[in-house]
Amino acid sequence: MPDIVLSNVQKSYGAGSPNAVSDLDLHIHDGEFMCLLGPSGCGKTTTLRMIAGLENLTDGEIGVGEKIVDSPARGAFIGPEKRGMGLVFQSYALWPHLTIERNTDFGLRLRKVPKAEREARVTEVMKALDIEKYRHRYPSQLSGGQQQRVALARMLAVNPGVLLLDEPLSNLDARLRLEMRAELKRIHAAFGTTIVFVTHDQWEAMTLATSIAVMNEGRLQQIGTPNDIYDRPANRFVAEFVGSPPINILETATGHALDRAASHWLAGRLGESAGVGSVGFRPEALQIARSEAAVPGDSFRHAAEVTGILPTGGSWIIELKVDGRALFATTTECPVLKGGERVFVHARPTAMHVFDAAGLRLAGADDTLARAA
Amino acid sequence: MATSDAAVAPAPVGGARWRYRLRLALREPTTVIAVLMAALFAYLIVVPILSILSDAATVQFGDERRTAGETGSVTIYYLYRAFASPVAHDLFWEPLLNTLKVAFGAIAISLSVGGVLAWLIARTDMFGRRWFATALIVPYMLPAWTFALAWTTLFKNRTVGGQPGWFEAIGLSPPDWLAYGQVPITIILALHYTPFVILLFGSALRRFDSQLEDSARILGAPGRVVALQIILPLMRPALLSAVLLIFAKCLGEFGVPYVLGLPVKFDVLATSLYRSIGSRQTGVAGVLAGAIMLIGVLAIMIDAHLAREARRFVTVGSKGAMNRLSRLKSWRWPASGFAAAIFIVSVGMPLLTLALSTVMHQPGSFALSNFTLDYWIGRDLPTVAMRTGILLSPDLWQAAWNTITIVGIASVCSGILGVLTGYVVVRTTIRPLAIFLRQVTFMPYLVPGIAFAAAYLSLFAVQRGPIPGLYGTTLILILALMADQMPYASRAGISAMMQLGKDPEEAAQIVGAGWFRRMTSIVIPIQKGSLVTGILLPFISGIKGLSLFVILAVPATDVLTTFSLRLVDYNYTQAANAVVLIIAGLAYGGTVLAQRITRTNLAEGLGN
Between helix B30-41 and helix B394-427 the angle, nearest 10°, is: 130
Residues A138 and A30 in one domain: yes
CA distance B489 to chain A (A): 23
Closest by CA to A39, choosing from A178, A221, A179, is A221
pLDDT-derived band at B606, boundaries 50, 70, 90:
very low
d(CA A18, CA A12): 7
Residue B485 Cα, gap to closest chain A Cα (Å): 28
The residue among A208, A241, A274 that closes a domain is A241
Mean pLDDT, chain B, rounded, equals 83
Q: Does the CB of B316 have a partner CB in chain A at under 8 Å?
A: no
pLDDT tens for each residue of A232-286 = 999 999 999 999 899 999 998 888 899 999 999 988 888 877 888 999 999 999 9
Contacts of A80 in chain B (CB under 8 A): 506, 509-510
Residue B568 pLDDT: 83
Q: Taking CB atoms and an 8 Å limit, are A81 and B514 in contact across chains?
A: yes
Closest CA to B8 of A6, A103, A267: A6
Out of B4, B20, B502, name the one closest to residue A72 (CB).
B20
Which ipTM did the prediction report? 0.83
Q: Are B8 and A158 a contacting pair at CB < 8 A?
A: no
How many residues does the structure list for chain A?
Answer: 373
Residue B26's pLDDT band (boundaries 50, 70, 90)?
confident
pLDDT tens readout for residues A91-123: 889 999 899 999 999 999 998 999 999 999 999
- Specify the pLDDT at position B492: 83
Same domain, A75 and A205: yes
* Phi, psi (deg, nearest 5) at residue A246: -65, 160
Q: Strand locations in chain A, DSSP E?
A: 4-11, 21-28, 33-37, 59-64, 67-71, 76-77, 85-88, 162-166, 194-199, 211-216, 219-224, 248-251, 276-281, 287-289, 300-311, 316-322, 325-331, 342-347, 353-356
Cβ under 8 Å to A: B residues 525-564: 525-526, 528
B608–A contact, CB cutoff 8 A: no
- B214-253 confidence digits (pLDDT tens): 788 888 788 788 888 888 888 887 888 888 888 888 888 8
What DSSP character marks residue A245? S
A215 and A268 share one domain? no
Q: What backbone torsions phi and psi does residue A5 show, to the nearest 5 degrees?
A: -125, 120
**A237 and A300 within one domain:** no
- Co-location of A291 and A275 in the same domain: yes
Pairwise pLDDT comparison (B429 vs A195), residue with the higher score = A195
Q: Which domain holds residue A68?
A: 4-241
Cα B189 from chain centroid (whole Å) = 13
CATH assignment at residue A361: 2.40.50.140
Identify the CATH number of the domain in which residue A57 sits: 3.40.50.300
Structural domains of chain B, ranges and CATH numbers in brackets: 28-56+393-608 (1.10.3720.10), 103-269 (1.10.3720.10)
Domain boundary among A241, A262, A281: A241
Minimum distance, in Å, between the CA of residue A147 and any CA atom of chain B? 13
Return d(Cα A134, Cα A279) in angstroms, integer. 54
Residues of A in contact with B4 (CB under 8 A): 5-7, 25-27
Domain shared by A45 and A154, yes or no:
yes
Contact between A89 and A54 under an 8 Å Cβ cutoff? The reply is: no
| B361 or A306, higher pLDDT | A306
What average pLDDT does the segment B266-289 reach? Answer: 88
B500 at interface of A, judged by CB pairs closer than 8 A? no
> What does the pLDDT look like over A47-69, one tens digit per residue?
999 999 999 899 999 999 889 99
The whole-angstrom separation of Cα B113 and Cα B107 is 10
pLDDT in tens, B38-63: 999 999 999 988 988 888 888 887 77
- Residue B292 has φ and ψ, to the nearest 5°, of -60, -45
Q: How many domains does one find in chain A?
A: 2
Residues A354 and A284 in one domain: yes
* Same structural domain, A234 and A258: no
Q: Return the number of other C-beta atoms located less than 10 Å from residue A10's C-beta.
A: 16
Q: Which residue of B has its CA nearest to A75?
A: B20
DSSP classification of residue B319: T
E strand spans, A208-362:
211-216, 219-224, 248-251, 276-281, 287-289, 300-311, 316-322, 325-331, 342-347, 353-356
Closest CA to B577 of B89, B147, B28, B115: B147
Contact yes or no for A65/A3 (Cβ under 8 A): yes
Residues A199 and A84 in one domain: yes
Are B506 and A87 an interchain contact pair (Cβ–Cβ within 8 Å)? yes
Determine which of B510, B515, B531 to mutate to test the interface with A (most A C-beta atoms within 10 Å): B510
Q: Are A294 and A228 in the same domain?
A: no
Whether B520 has its CB under 8 Å from any CB of chain A: the answer is no
Of A226, A241, A256, the position where a domain reaches its end is A241
Residue B14 at interface with chain A, using a CB cutoff of 8 Å: no
Indicate if A118 and A8 belong to the same structural domain. yes
The average pLDDT across B499-527 equals 89
What distance in Å separates the CA atoms of residue B574 and residue B356, rounded to the nearest whole number? Answer: 9
Same domain for A42 and A94?
yes
Q: Model's pTM, two decimal places?
A: 0.77
**Does B5 have pLDDT greater than 80?**
no
- Which residues of chain B neighbour A59 with C-beta distances below 8 Å? 12
- Banded model confidence at residue B2, pLDDT cuts 50, 70, 90: very low
